[in-house]
Amino acid sequence: MAQNFDPVYKEIENYGIIPIIKTEDAEIALAAAKALSAGGLNVAEMIFETEKAEKAAEKIIAALPGTLLVAGGAKSKKQAKGAADSGAKAIITDGFDAKMAECCENLGIPLLIKIKNAEETKKMPEAKFIVDSANPDDFAKHLSNKALLACSIDIIPQEAYAGGFGEIKKLAAHAVQKMLGYDLAHVGINCENAEQAERDSGRVEAIFGLEKTDAGATFSNADILHFTKQRSYGKNGQIAISANFIDRALFYLKQAGRQFIEESARYDEQGILASIYLDNIIGGFAIKLVRRETNG
C-alpha cells in the first residue's frame, strides 16, 4: 500500500525555505541547526555523502526533535537508507533520478526534486519540487508557483563552519521575513454606527482627496482607512497586516507561540483563508493578518 506523504509535504510547504547545512562535523552541524532554529527555520537540508552525515543528523534530531531534516546529496541506496535511518523526513535529488525514486519508494520515504527553473515542473506534474539556490528577493515569485513546495537556500556563511554562528540567526530571520513580506494593508477605525463611519470617512476625503466608498461593513478611503459601521475587534479598531502567503505566516506565527482568535477566520469562495485576528491588542487596536491579494 502506498504511503501517505502529504503531512511531510505540507510541513515542507509551510516552511517554504530549506537552508542547507554543508558540514559532516556533528558538533558544527548541531550549532548551525540551533542558530537556524533561533531565526525561525526549524528545517534544514543535510548533505549526505558519507556516514559522518548520518551521525550529524542523529545528533541534530536528538537535540532538536522538532527539526524537519531532509537529506540532499544521496546518490546510492546505502546513503538513502542511512538518511532515512538517521531520521531524515525526505530525500532531495538534483533533478529526477529514476533509481533514487525507486529506492525512496522501497524505503518508504518521500522524494523531492531540486530544480533550477520552474518550467521543469511541467514535465512531471505529479512530482514534488523545490527550487535550488533561490535569491530571497525571488521567494514570492517562486512560491506563487503551486508546483514548488519550497526554496533551497545557502545562507550559512562559510566562516560559520569554523565556529562563527552569530549571524546565522539574523540571516534566517531575514529570509523568513523576505518570504512572508509583511506590510501594512489598512487601518480600521471603530465607529458607533454607519452615520458616524460615513461622516468620518467623508472628512478624510475632504482633507486628502482619498475617495470615500461604501465597502459594505465599512466606509473606505482608498482602501487605506476603513471606518466600521459598527464596533468590531479592538477598542479603537484594527491594524491589518498583509502577508504574501497567509497560511505560511500563520504557521510561522504559531511556531513562535502567537495565539489566534480562530472564530475570526474568514475564507473566500474557494475555502481559502483570507484573514484572521491575532489574540493581541496593541495601542487599543486589534491585529489582523490578511492575505495579499496578488498572491491569491
The CATH number of residue 45's host domain is 3.20.20.70
- Domain end call among 161, 179, 197: 179
- Do the Cβ atoms of 96 and 113 come closer than 8 Å? yes
> Residue 159: what pLDDT?
74
Domain annotation covers residue 44: yes
Q: What is the pTM of this model?
A: 0.91
- Give dist(CA 238, CA 225) in Å, integer: 10
C-alpha cell at 181: 513580506
Q: Please tell me whether residues 174 and 202 are part of one structural domain.
A: no
| Pick from 287, 285, 291, 266: nearest CA to 277 | 287
Instruction: For 153-193, write each residue's pLDDT tens digit.
Output: 988 877 776 666 778 999 999 999 999 999 999 999 999 99
Q: Please tell me whether residues 124 and 193 are part of one structural domain.
A: no
What are the two backbone dihedrals, phi and then psi, of residue 236, each rounded to the nearest 5 degrees?
A: -100, -25
Domain annotation covers residue 211: yes
| Pick from 249, 44, 16: nearest CA to 131 | 16
Q: Give the domain extent around 225.
A: 183-295
The label of the residue with cell 489598512 reads 186
Instruction: For 12-61, write each residue's pLDDT tens digit.
Output: 999 999 999 988 889 999 999 999 999 999 999 998 887 888 999 999 99
- Do the Cβ atoms of 105 and 84 come closer than 8 Å? no
C-alpha cell at 90: 525526505
- Give dist(CA 68, CA 177) in Å, integer: 20
Domain annotation covers residue 148: yes
- Domain end call among 130, 162, 179: 179
> Residue 1: what pLDDT?
46
Q: Please tell me whether residues 147 and 220 are part of one structural domain.
A: no
The label of the residue with cell 537552508 reads 19
Q: Number of structural domains, the chain?
A: 2
Strand residue runs (E) in 141-259: 148-153, 183-189, 212-214, 218-221, 225-228, 237-243
- Domain end call among 149, 179, 209: 179
From residue 192, give the alpha-carbon distance in Å to each of 196, 198, 229, 287: 7, 11, 7, 20
Q: Please tell me whether residues 62 and 78 are part of one structural domain.
A: yes
- Give dist(CA 48, CA 11) in Å, integer: 21
* Per-residue confidence band for 2, with pLDDT thresholds at 50, 70 and 90: low
Q: Please tell me whether residues 189 and 77 are part of one structural domain.
A: no
Give the residue-averaged pLDDT of 266-275.
Answer: 94
Q: Please tell me whether residues 16 and 158 are part of one structural domain.
A: yes
Q: Please tell me whether residues 115 and 197 are part of one structural domain.
A: no
Q: Please tell me whether residues 170 and 226 are part of one structural domain.
A: no
- Which helix (H) or strand (E) segment is 79 a member of? helix 77-85
Domain annotation covers residue 268: yes
Domain annotation covers residue 284: yes
**Where does residue 164 rank: exposed (0-12), middle (13-18), buried (19+ CB within 10 A)?**
exposed
* Per-residue confidence band for 240, with pLDDT thresholds at 50, 70 and 90: very high
Instruction: For 82-96, write each residue's pLDDT tens digit.
Output: 999 999 999 999 888
Q: Please tell me whether residues 191 and 157 are part of one structural domain.
A: no
Q: Please tell me whether residues 44 and 88 are part of one structural domain.
A: yes
pLDDT at 71 over 60: yes
From residue 202, give the alpha-carbon distance in Å to each of 4, 212, 223: 56, 6, 14
